[in-house]
Amino acid sequence: MTAEELRAAAIEVFGRRGWITDLAACLRVDRSTVHRWLQGVPIPGPVEAAMKCWLVVFRHTGKRPDPL
């Protein structure tokens, strides 16, 4: 998954406002980690897998992950 693919998927799932914060909360990482991925640091496989699963669930049910 590229940085742009992550950005597009996260915006689709979490919405345009606050998606970095929501993504970081759902993944239980710091916002700065998400920013590093968007700047080109490799996106870990488990993050890619989670994002793809959330996309499928969102597209089928309209439900977003709950950032605990």
Tell me the pLDDT of the chain (68 aa) as tens digits.
999 999 999 999 999 999 999 999 999 999 999 999 999 999 999 999 999 999 999 999 999 998 77
Q: What is the largest CA-CA distance in the chain?
A: 31
Please state the domain extents for the chain: 3-61
